[in-house]
Chain A
């Protein structure tokens, strides 16, 4: 059995709801989508018990009615797990993961600026990457965002 299959089994053993939901695209690449209420549990288990000790990044996605957040975490042997969680576009709230990875701070600020996510539990700090005079409520990576003159 490959390492990826072992991880898949461990995840399903712990979280029965994930049965049939884990996609193995190729060796070392696993994808799973979880509901907001299960996210923290799955994430914590992967980080603390399955050896996913590296946070590569957080990708924010505009999926129409929802915003998707893809957490790319990796193990030292190169296996990467991509956990996706979605939030309603009108109130896209996610919880901070800086408790697990202090370095997640900048990635969370990025999805706040570019997609308008609200990150619960994130401490105050400089915004990233847009300028301080960027108009409020303008989120350039949203699909319905329109470029304005000069920007």
Chain B
């Protein structure tokens, strides 16, 4: 049969982020798949070299909007190792708590996206509604829904009050009940099982060979988790199971993530109940002595790795970030070999890709002009109103009505 090459991306309705895939088809069967990444490259590694360690904490936090805490924790851990800074135990517990809350919001988000990609939008509506519970908890605890700003070199910036602890435990009960329901749906709803089973197969050997990480690897029977194998923060004190599965497909990846949600609730309860007393932070020097360190962190998508080299000044000599998606994207070609084109969206979604993390690049450039253009919040607001008005949508009357009602 005649072969057809279809470009998907960098801008494509089926994609949530810019990335470019080239798919060679014979009929509807995928013969070859190749990815071109880099559309999100913001030069964060270089930018880190030009900023101080404390500025870099906030910069690395912005590598990704979903696993922001993963990146900032991974970075501060490396700096603390070089500077031999002993972080107080209470701070380690709070880092663990926020890390697991982040995993809960990320996995619930994924479940919704997976539902959407297979045409099960009810699941998207349900999971994203329930995800708001954990987003509210994160906002209560840190002041933000994303980019929590909880980490600093030498500890954390905010404490957890006993009342907040109670609210967290209550929220975990609700979320656990909801997750049990989703597990029931995933293990009993035949349309979902049949749509996901056998799709995006990745054998145990291929997962190892291609260096898969996180739930993608664990659903192919790879028993690896940095939280257990190379414990950081307070994970050495926590009791939890590493969830693995042998389905080797998207269905397995769904089960692993749901199992991890249940484990995350357990870890969150342990951190809240056993939260040690003590200070939140120790004073860290502005200048970090020369040295190097590698820090590993089990992000929701898999192992995140930061390498930091210090040269004795207040700015790092080198910061290297390896986000989990970069390790996992290489398995996608294998998963799609000889599969139907229709499986492509869910197979890509099943590694829970995050191309912002992978590419790590900020600044808006006006096309054709070599000028940076940064919009202020008010300008962005005005722009959006104007954009919609130009496209025939005007919310002015509705807004006035709402303002009156609120008064």
Contacts and interface: CB of A to CB of B under 8 A. Distances in A.
B35 A126 contact: yes
B208 A53 contact: yes
Interface size class of A (residues with CB under 8 A): 35 or more
Interface stretch (A4-12, A76-84, A86-94): A76-84
Contacts of A82: 294
A59 B307 contact: yes
Of A55, A70, A103, most buried by chain B (CB within 10 Å of CB) is A103
Given A57-B307, A126-B35, 14 more contacts: A25-B81, A57-B322, A59-B307, A59-B320, A102-B209, A103-B330, A104-B211, A105-B330, A106-B326, A126-B36, A126-B37, A140-B43, A141-B318, A150-B365
Interface residues of B, number: 42
A129 B365 CA distance: 18
Interface string B290-306: 00111010000001010
Nearest to B81: A26
Contacts of B209: 101-103
A130 B41 contact: yes
A105 B330 CA distance: 9
21 contacts: A25-B293, A28-B230, A54-B224, A55-B211, A70-B307, A77-B229, A80-B230, A103-B327, A126-B34, A126-B35, A126-B37, A128-B36, A128-B37, A128-B38, A129-B38, A129-B41, A129-B360, A129-B361, A130-B38, A150-B365, A150-B370
Contacts of B293: 25, 29
A125 interface: yes
B309 interface: yes
Nearest to B230: A78
Contacts of A77: 229
Given A29-B293, A61-B318, A76-B229, A129 B37 contact: yes
